[in-house]
């Protein structure tokens, strides 16, 4: 019997009910006057191509052990985060309250507006460019975006590659954008 995931609701504190909250220090205040209007979808797996470990959590809270995997030596000093991380099984983890600015987009531009971290919510999907995402990840992503649109005037859901063209490829060629659009239209 499959357990039904909890309903998703965003509180006034920017925390999502139904998500495990692990606070990241890699965030700050949004600039005055910025309104959250964009959702940026990313893909991440640590080590690359491996799922289910605690590497992403450790990266987002600055506790990635450089000796745990050769790949970590080159990234353990990065100070990055996302608001949310959706695991392969659909479990949602939150690292930064939505009222704060997570450090997920880097150098970026959307519709002529630079510094996408200022006005976006970053959602990391546990995945990579070479493998399809899971059914429950798409379902939870759609639920999460619906919860966000109940609070924020979200104008678009886009990929990291779309706002950091030539620099990033995620969520990658295996990400089914038409499926996301279909789920959001339901």
Q: Tell me whether residue 124 is one of the annotated catalytic residues.
A: yes
- pLDDT confidence of residue 17: 95
At the fourth CATH level, which superfamily is domain 15-42+81-185?
A: Peptidoglycan recognition protein-like (3.40.80.10)
Residue spans of the domains in the chain: they are 15-42+81-185
What residues have CB less than 8 Å from 92, skipping those under 6 apart? 5, 8, 16, 18, 19, 20, 84, 85, 86, 140, 144
- pLDDT confidence of residue 169: 95
- pLDDT confidence of residue 3: 64
- pLDDT confidence of residue 2: 56
- pLDDT confidence of residue 65: 97
Selecting among 34, 50, 124, 143, the annotated active-site residue is: 124
Ranges assigned E (strand) in the chain = 9-10, 16-17, 20-21, 27-29, 38-44, 84-86, 92-94, 100-102, 109-110, 113-114, 120-126, 156-159
Helices 135-149, 177-185: inter-axial angle, 10-degree rounding: 50
DSSP string, 11-38: -TTSPEETSEE---SSEEEPPTT----E
- pLDDT confidence of residue 77: 97
- pLDDT confidence of residue 7: 79
- pLDDT confidence of residue 84: 98
pTM here is 0.96
Compute mean pLDDT per 10 residues along the chain, 186 residues long, and list them.
Answer: 73 96 98 97 98 98 98 98 98 98 97 97 97 97 97 98 95 97 93
């Amino acid at each position: 019997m499959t357990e039904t995931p909890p309903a998703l609701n965003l509180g006034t504190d920017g925390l999502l009910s139904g998500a495990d909250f692990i606070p990241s220090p890699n965030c700050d205040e949004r600039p005055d006057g910025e309104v959250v209007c964009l959702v940026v979808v990313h893909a991440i797996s640590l080590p690359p191509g491996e799922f289910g470990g605690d590497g992403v959590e450790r990266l987002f809270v600055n506790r990635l052990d450089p000796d745990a995997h050769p790949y970590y030596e080159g990234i353990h000093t990065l100070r990055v985060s996302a608001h949310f991380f959706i695991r392969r099984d659909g479990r949602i983890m939150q690292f930064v309250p939505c009222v704060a600015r997570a450090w997920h987009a880097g150098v970026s531009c959307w519709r002529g507006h630079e510094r996408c971290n200022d006005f976006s919510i970053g959602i990391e999907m546990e995945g990579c460019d070479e493998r399809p995402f899971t059914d429950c990840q798409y379902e939870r992503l759609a639920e999460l975006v619906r919860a966000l649109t109940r609070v924020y005037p979200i104008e678009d859901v886009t990929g990291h590659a779309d706002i950091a063209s030539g620099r990033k490829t995620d969520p990658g060629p295996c990400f089914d954008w038409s499926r996301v659009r279909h789920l959001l239209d339901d």
